Structure 1
Amino acid sequence: MSAVVVQVQSLRYTPAGIPAVNLVLEHESTVTEMDTPRLVKLQLRAVAFGAQAETLSRQGLDSVCEFHGFLANARNGKGVVFHIQDFSKT
């Protein structure tokens, strides 16, 4: 998923000592639905762990990146969180 980093919280550590960072990503694209172009725009909460977290915590806002990962339920069961497994700057 291509997205812009719009919010990065401070780097933190899990109880096991693993670096973690929470982010908010913003995605915008145009897709075709029933032969009609549709603008898709959304903000998505995200989290990264380990080396990815350390790198993203230093990333500037408005950085456009290609993110790879998976969606999971948020810990409180409200909404989803995108778990970033890999990313590259575009």
Structure 2
Amino acid sequence: MLRRRWRQRKPRRLLLAEDKLAHAGNEVLLAGRLLERGAMRYTPAGIPVIEFRLAHASEQIEAGQSRQVECEMPCMALGQMAQLMADSKPGDGLTTKGFLAARSRNSRTLVLHVTQIEFLEGNENGFQT
């Protein structure tokens, strides 16, 4: 009987973030109402940071069917965006644009890091009046 000699195969290389996924998009546009806003704080480098929660409600089409969507998104704004959010009040309507990231190295909870804010009511050029 002839025995086959099994050669050990090299494991296939997994595509890591530094490969193809590093260039994939991560951009979120979300409109809603401000639910709550934390106090302004500062990073060790002196950059202003503010955390807030955005309530979103809309009607979306999925698989050809209409669907009601309601959710709350934890958000974080830094720098100039944090200063814009400092004057906002719960109930204010706003549209945010940003990217999703983990809250911290130890927490995999997603947070929307806001890079642009447009206030939908009582504003001029993105600033509340």
Partner of 1:44: 73
Q: Which has the higher contact order (CA 8 A, sep 6+)?
A: 1
Q: TM-score, normalised by structure 1?
A: 0.94
Structure-to-structure mapping, 1:1-90, within 5 angstroms: 1-75=30-104, 76-90=106-120
The structure having more radius of gyration, on CA atoms, is 2
- Identity value in percent: 27
CA offset digits 1:2-40 (Å, max 9, x no partner): 111101000000000000001011111111112211011
Higher strand share: 1
Runs (4+) of structure 1 exceeding 6 A deviation are none
Distance apart, 1:78 and its partner CA: 3.3
> How big is the shift at 1:89?
1.1
> Counterpart of 1:44 in structure 2: which amino acid?
M
What is the aligned residue count?
90
Deviation at 1:77, TM superposition (A): 2.1
TM-score, with structure 2 as normaliser: 0.67
Deviations 1:50-79 (A, max 9, x none): 111011021011111110100111213232
Which 5+ residue runs of structure 1 have no aligned equivalent?
Answer: none
Q: List alignment gaps of at least 5 residues for structure 2.
A: 1-29, 121-129
What root-mean-square deviation, in Å, do the aligned CA atoms of Structure 1 and Structure 2 show? 1.0
Structure 2 residue identity aligned to 1:84: V
